[in-house]
Structure 1
Amino acid sequence: MLARMGRWWIAWAIGGVVVSSLGVATTWSYLRTLHSQVGRSLRDAVPVSFELKRLDQMIQELVPEIRRNQEVVAQLEVEVEYLERDVKHMQGGQEELVSQMGKLREALGEGRQEYDFAGQSYTRKQVERDLARRLDQYEHHKAQLAAKQQLLEQRRRTLEAATAKVVEYRRQYEQLLAKAESLEAELKLVEAAQAAGRLEFDQSKLAQAKELAQEVEKRIRVLQRLVDAGRQPRGEIPVDADTRPVTERYDELFGPENAAPDRTGSET
């Protein structure tokens, strides 16, 4: 325990000396630079293929977000549909109520004390009370209809904004997906190029094989020439032998005047 506390005191003392020597701002700058360098070194040590897998995982994690927001949009669409149906129904009821009140007001304009409606007789007071009730109902429904229309308009704006966000979010998701596929294909090309650069051949063996091939070629050429030479006649070309006397051949070559006298004839 004391040894650990001693190490902490030594560390604090060294830190105090560094800060007092360089200043707080300079020391903080050094620390930030060191942190940045360490982080960059760690990132550089991570294989690119691993980073691509991490990117693919992050992209896949966007899918639940897209589905969740699509469900919200679907709920808004259904809500808007039902609000539109309610507004249309309320508008139809108000139109029918206006038509009924118009008939009552027209009857009261005749100035009679009794009125017949659907085979029933009603006094003027009864008709006036019924018209007043319908007016109150109309005004109440009018306020409800206005509130419903306002709510419908708000839901429509919300639906429009939500739909735009989902469309934009999905567009960016598809861009990221295409980018990840492009980067993966590019990495495969780079890895293939690196693999081709690491190919090693024994050039000495290749040179020996070429030299042997050249020697074999020379021997084949020599054998071919020997075969060609065996097909041709050897030595001098044979011609007809000269059957003339040798003296005639000599005289033709050297002349008769160079011939020695015939001793046989002189002795006789």
Structure 2
Amino acid sequence: MLKKAIVTGGAVALLSTLAVGLPAVSYLRCGVTSLTESANDAMPLEWKLKQARQMIGDLKPEIQKNAKRIATEKIEVTRLEKELKETDQRLIKAEEDIERLTDDLNADLPEYTYAGHRYTSAQVKEDVGNRFKRFKTRQATADKLRQMLGARQASLTTAERRMDEMLSAKRQLEVEVENLQARLGALRLAETTSTLALDDSHLSNTRRLLDDIATNIDVQEETLNVDVEYFGEINLDEPNDEDLLDEIASYFGDKDQAEKQEDSSELVAIQLD
């Protein structure tokens, strides 16, 4: 009973640990991913382009390795083609010899002469049988070579196509990097132009500040003049009503005199016409 309780408690503890541990692992993985993405976002564009160029450059060893494999495969295909050609030529010669010997045996002669040597009918039959066995073996070999050659040629064609695709993709990546480099240069130039515009704004602010200073100086100078004219001296004389009346009469008298002179001028002008 005690043993069962211990086992049950251990299982519960293990499940609890897993229940707590799994979210922790998930949070940790999420945090690492977030930090990686933040680092990538903070990476300057110039550095990313440099990294892209480096990655494109890293394709060169792989391309060279594939080129070496293709060259090796071409050599093997050439060897198989040569071997198959020689085998086919031997098969043709062997077939011709077998047919010749068979035709001779069909003549049912007691002896046969070949290259100055005399052979009995039994010897010729035995030789034909051996030649026919070798012919069938060589023909099977030729069939295998032909299959191997076909497979190697198909593999070589696929490898060459993939190599062409890889080189084309590499060239496309290089063109895209150059395009992005040009766009980034234009972007940096636009940012520089924007910075110069901010300098113009600062200059305008300075001009407005100087204008404000000049306006304040003008106001203060005018204020000082007003103070001097109206409030700078003490009036020692008492105001006199007669002086005021004389001033009014003199003002309007001068005005009437000026109007009479204008009327006289107009009259003279009319008489002249």
Q: Which interval holds the TM-score relative to the shorter structure?
A: 0.5 to 0.7
Q: Which residue of 2 aligns with 1:99?
A: 96
Separation (CA, whole Å) in 2 of partners of 1:134 and 1:27? 79
- Structure 1 letter corresponding to 2:124: V
Query: TM-score, normalised to structure 2's length?
Result: 0.62
- Of the three residues 28, 33, 49, the one matched with 2:46 is 49
Instruction: Give the deviation of 1:43 after TM superposition.
Output: 1.9
Q: Which has the higher helix share?
A: 2
Segments of 5+ residues of structure 1 without an aligned counterpart are 1-22, 209-268
1:179 aligns with 2:197: no
- What's the counterpart of residue 127 of structure 2? 130
Q: What pairs with 1:201-216 in structure 2 (closer than 5 Å)? A: 201=200, 202-203=203-204
CA distance in 1, matches of 2:95, 2:119: 20
1:63 alignment partner, one of 31, 37, 60: 60
Q: Which amino acid aligns with 2:103?
A: E
Per-residue deviation, 1:56: 0.6
Superposition deviation, residue 68 in structure 1: 0.6
CA distance in 2, matches of 1:41, 1:162: 40
Who is 1:112 aligned against?
Answer: 109
Number of residues of Structure 1 aligned to a counterpart in Structure 2: 190
Question: Aligned letter for 1:108?
Answer: L
2:189 equivalent among 188, 192, 203: 192
- Residue matched to 1:168: 165
User: In 1, Cα distance between the equivalents of 2:145 and 2:40?
Assistant: 57
Deviation of 1:173 after TM superposition, in Å, equals 1.6
Distance change in 2, residues 1:75/1:124 (3 Å) = same
Which letter maps to 1:195?
Answer: T
State which of 12, 35, 42 in structure 2 corresponds to 1:38: 35
SS at match of 2:112: strand
User: Does the C-alpha gap of structure 1 residues 29 and 90 become closer, same or farther in structure 2, counting only changes over 3 Å?
Assistant: closer
Q: Which runs of 5+ in 2 are unaligned?
A: 1-19, 211-273
Deviations along 1:236-258, whole A, 9 cap, x unmatched?
Answer: xxxxxxxxxxxxxxxxxxxxxxx
C-alpha root-mean-square deviation of aligned residues, in Å? 2.9
**Residue of structure 2 in register with 1:143 after alignment:** 140
Moved more, 29-38 or 39-48: 29-38
Cα 1:135/1:187, change in 2 over 3 Å: same
